[in-house]
A = this chain, B = another copy of it.
Amino acid sequence: MFPRKLTRQVISDPDYPVVETKAGKLRGLVVEGSFIFRGIKYAKAERFHLPKPVEPWEGIKEAIIYGPVCPELNTPIAHDEYNVPHYHYCQDEDCQYINVWTQHLDKNAKRPVMVWIHGGGWATGSSIELYAYDGEEISAWGDVVFVSLNHRLNVIGYTDFGKYGDEYKYSGNAGLADLVMALEWVRDNIEAFGGDPNNVTIMGQSGGGAKVRSLFNTPAADGLYHKAIIQSGAHKGDGDGTLEESQYLAERILAQLNIAPENVHEVEKVPYYKLVRAAVAAQEDVKAKFGHTFFMGATKDDDYYLGQPVLYGWRPEVRNVPLIIGTCLGEQNNNFALEPISKALDDWTEEEKMEQLKKRFGDKTDAVVAAFKKAYPGRNIAGALFIGDYYRIGAYEIIARRIKDGCAPTYNYLLTLMAPLNKGTVPWHNMEEAYVFHNANYLEASYIPGVTEELQDIMTGAWVAYARTGDPNHPGMPVWHPEDGEKVGTMIFDRDVHMVYDHDKELMDVLGGGRAQPSFRRRDAGILGGGPRQSL
């Protein structure tokens, strides 16, 4: 994706490299020895309809540039643009495109396949939104087939018009259906790219992790993946829309657009930005009716999608899928940072630290500080300001439920490495991505000479080993123990990589419940309350 200083001539000849897929031939690139195929159309879909396979073609199609990405409700400069550099690309509803990086174009190579599902909640982002997502390094370094893809998002991905006609059945999960279709494309075609269709790891971060979690309870995806990784993507509590909410959203969108129910087809032709304005207004209507902010995401319809497994359980069909799940120490770094940070964290006075901590934690401040000191002795307590309990508690909840359901092993990690930005910044939401894709030495905000190279060898090595065998352990790192049905250990990724057990249990308890109290709360039971869900 991103230009790098080249040492070899890139090859993209009319007849090489060419791969034959089920639908037809594709011509890609050879970049520094890696084969790259960008922007392969894996499905086509009318707005609010289920995706269909692409039509077969004659001759050779080019796969040398990325396909368009799903339109976003809006695309402002991200608050974390510096530490998480974005690559924005052209947006179009015709967005079912997949990218492949591989070292072999040999059907017998059968390398492990890693399928990256991008984040940005269920509303924004793309397979190439972050520089960290580039698959060239991990494919070459780990000899794996790396796959990433675009799929439908926000209003066009998750609004249920099902009550207006069978053709719109599952329109409340069109985005999930795109993911399933992409996994079917992998099953049917990845062998030609040197991949093993029987060894597919699905992985995602933030919203992408939430999508991985939801795929566990999407029966259409059963059997299409064999391992899973959720990076900072399992927030605590619920997060799905209900069928009732999604259908009410559809109803209100039609009303906002002055489209009578019998003319529902017109909603397929409305210009996207007009649809967005209607959807944003309709969102307010849903909020007024249901008492909480409604985010467009997977619709729990108990048919296509059965709801979050942490609430409704891991089904027998997917219990044998192992899981890596983990977070970064400072997930909320950007959400709570004092910007611009005019003073390095280490230069803050005790008073300044306490003033800021009290702003976030109020009455809990003393308890948080005490628990933080116990969990992270020697660390600057200002780090507690940015602590990522929202995702870490979510991870604990998932692990507890998987233990209860008798699932395959679950591995937990926590990235605690301080980044050099501002003379020391707590690792943020997204920071681990560059490390697991072996791209961390490309990123300004997190690169620490020597340390980064070593840590990304360890982390990418673990992800690749896991994709290969289901076990992330490799000779270059201490033994990573999964939960053993009782004890949950955490692999700490930092200058000193090591296992800890329950080191932050007290801190998580103070912040809202740790693994001892997995909260199988259901919003419809009224326990979680009606507050807004975090916009991922």
CA distance A423 to B445 in the complex (A): 39
| Interface contact B5-A444, CB-CB below 8 Å | no
| Interface contact B341-A14, CB-CB below 8 Å | yes
Most interface-central of A8, A10, A11 (chain B CB within 10 A)? A10
| Interface contact B60-A82, CB-CB below 8 Å | no
| Interface contact A3-B342, CB-CB below 8 Å | no
Q: Which of A61-69, A187-195, A476-484 contacts B (4 or more CB under 8 A)?
A: A61-69
CB distance from A504 to the nearest CB of B (A): 28
Taking a contact as CB atoms closer than 8 A, the residue among B59, B85, B131, B449 that contacts A9 in the complex is B449
Most interface-central of A8, A31, A131, A342 (chain B CB within 10 A)? A342
| Interface contact B10-A444, CB-CB below 8 Å | yes
A465-477 CB contact bits vs B (8 Å, 1 = yes)? 0000000000000
| Interface contact B4-A5, CB-CB below 8 Å | yes
CA distance A61 to B339 in the complex (A): 10
| Interface contact B60-A342, CB-CB below 8 Å | yes
CA distance A5 to B68 in the complex (A): 27
A420 within 8 A of B: yes
| Interface contact A76-B64, CB-CB below 8 Å | no
CA distance A288 to B77 in the complex (A): 39
CB distance from A75 to the nearest CB of B (A): 6
Which residues of B have CB within 8 Å of A273?
273
| Interface contact A77-B65, CB-CB below 8 Å | yes
Instruction: Give the residues from 77 to 97 in chain A that come closer than 8 angstroms, CB to CB, to chain B.
Output: 77, 81-82, 85, 87-91
| Interface contact A87-B87, CB-CB below 8 Å | yes
Which residues of B have CB within 8 Å of A7?
449
Q: What are 6 A-B pairs at a CB distance below 8 A?
A: A6-B442, A12-B421, A14-B422, A75-B90, A77-B89, A77-B90
CB distance from A20 to the nearest CB of B (A): 16
A448 within 8 A of B: yes
| Interface contact A82-B65, CB-CB below 8 Å | yes
Q: Is the interface of A mostly helix, strand, loop or mixed?
A: loop
CA distance A422 to B15 in the complex (A): 9
| Interface contact A4-B442, CB-CB below 8 Å | yes
CA distance A91 to B74 in the complex (A): 10
Q: 9 closest A-B pairs (Cβ-Cβ)? A: A3-B442, A10-B444, A77-B90, A65-B81, A88-B88, A6-B447, A62-B340, A3-B131, A65-B82
Which residues of B have CB within 8 Å of A68?
77
Name A131's closest neighbour in chain B (CB-CB): B3
| Interface contact A441-B340, CB-CB below 8 Å | no
Which residues of B have CB within 8 Å of A487?
none
Instruction: Give the residues from 44 to 77 in chain A that come closer than 8 angstroms, CB to CB, to chain B.
Output: 59-62, 64-65, 68, 75-77
Given contacts A5-B441, A344-B14, A444-B3, contact A90 B64 (CB under 8 A): no
Which residues of B have CB within 8 Å of A444?
3, 6, 10, 12, 29, 31
